[in-house]
């Protein structure tokens, strides 16, 4: 070749080569350092974690089972949709669900009229409960919602006990219902009901125990934790079902305090009642008789319990 070649002198070529190689090494080293930091968990951009859903989060509608309902919730995200409560978060916890009344109470009116001691007075063993104007019984509603909530809670790892599962000829009596939660040393107990007020009275409310110290009743130790449970339950029930708090009880808070319920007076574990709606109001009744809405009610109850037990 002639001296007019376009190739640079050898010395310049070697210097450029060294610089290129050095730059490549530095880039590789920098990338390796970032990867190392990510693996060690002290930097970088890790996979985005799920954050707990705020109390006002809207949930996707439940998928139907082809019959207008949601079946057992197998297609529903359940508590898993409340992202702060992963599966297994209730492992080791015991929850007692108390489906109000009994579908067969109406056939045992004499037995359920028997008076039992609730500490500060004596009241009927149980009552028949109410129904919608079309005949859908409160006792059927409460048992259905309890079954749905039980599946969701068990999916979270909880041990769930029902005070009755359609396996009693009547009742059980209100003092026996309280005793179930006490004997099982429940971490939380919820009695599920629907109200029977006048048409136009709408919405849900949660009943909290008053401070009662009389006879066999002493709620001193459970008043505060029961209020916490009730507040969590009301908040999640509102968010999931989008039902409004009662417009006739609780001054818009969705909370009511009572001292005349044996299921609360005789409880030694945190316990509340939830009246999911008014069966005698046509608009509320349309929700209560809808399987998809009942699945949402069960999910709201489940998330409220889960929030209480994991907070």
Q: DSSP label at 108?
A: -
CA dihedral for 70, 73, 76, 81, sign (positive or negative): positive
* E-strand stretches of the chain: 94-99, 115-117, 122-124, 159-162, 188-195, 205-209, 213-214, 217-218, 255-258, 271-278
Q: What is the spatial distance between Cα 78 and Cα 148, in angstroms, rounded to a whole number? A: 10
* Cross-strand partners of 257: 208
DSSP annotation string for 20-79: HHHHHHHHHHHHHHHHHHHHHTSSS-PPPPP-PPPTT---PPPPP-SSSS-TTSTTS-GG
Catalytic residue from among 138, 176, 231, 275: 275
Query: In sequence order, what are the residues at sequence separation of 6 or more whose Cβ sits closer than 8 angstroms to the Cβ of residue 184?
Result: 94, 96, 161
CA dihedral for 129, 94, 158, 232, sign (positive or negative): positive
Distances (CA, A) of 67 to 63, 191, 288: 11, 28, 16
Residue in this structure with the two tokens 């009344």, named with its chain if needed: 101
Q: Which residues of 277-309 are buried (b: 16+ CB within 10 A; e: fewer)?
A: bbbbbeebbebbeebbbbbbbbbbbbbbbbbbb
**Known active-site residue 176:** no
- Give catalytic residue positions: 275
């Amino acid at each position: 070749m002639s001296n007019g070649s376009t190739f640079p002198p050898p010395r310049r070529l070697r210097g450029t080569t060294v610089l290129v190689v050095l730059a490549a090494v530095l880039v590789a080293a920098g990338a390796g350092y970032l990867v190392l930091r990510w693996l060690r968990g002290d930097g970088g951009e890790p996979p985005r974690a799920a954050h707990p859903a705020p109390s006002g989060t809207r949930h996707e509608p439940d998928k139907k089972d082809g019959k207008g309902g949601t079946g057992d919730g197998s297609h529903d995200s359940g508590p898993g949709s409340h992202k702060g409560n992963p599966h297994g978060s209730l492992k080791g916890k015991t929850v007692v669900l108390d489906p109000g009344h009994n579908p067969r109470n109406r056939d045992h009116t004499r037995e359920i009229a028997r008076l039992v001691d609730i500490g500060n007075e004596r009241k009927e063993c149980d009552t028949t409960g109410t129904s919608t104007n079309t005949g859908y019984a409160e006792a059927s509603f409460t048992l259905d919602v309890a079954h749905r909530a039980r599946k969701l809670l068990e999916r979270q790892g909880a041990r769930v006990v029902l005070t009755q599962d359609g396996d009693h000829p009547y009742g059980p009596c209100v003092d026996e219902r309280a005793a179930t939660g006490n004997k099982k040393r429940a971490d939380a107990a919820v009695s599920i009901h629907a109200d029977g007020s006048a048409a136009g009275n709408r919405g849900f409310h949660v009943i909290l125990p008053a401070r009662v110290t009389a006879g066999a009743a002493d709620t001193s130790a459970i008043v505060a934790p029961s209020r916490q449970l009730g507040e969590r339950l009301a908040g999640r029930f509102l968010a999931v079902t989008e039902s409004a708090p009662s417009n006739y009880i609780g001054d818009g808070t969705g909370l009511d305090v009572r001292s005349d319920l044996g299921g609360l007076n005789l409880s030694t574990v945190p316990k509340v009642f939830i009246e999911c709606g008014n069966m005698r109001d046509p608009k509320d009744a349309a929700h209560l008789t809808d399987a998809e809405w009942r699945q949402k009610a069960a999910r709201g109850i489940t998330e409220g319990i889960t929030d209480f037990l994991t907070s």
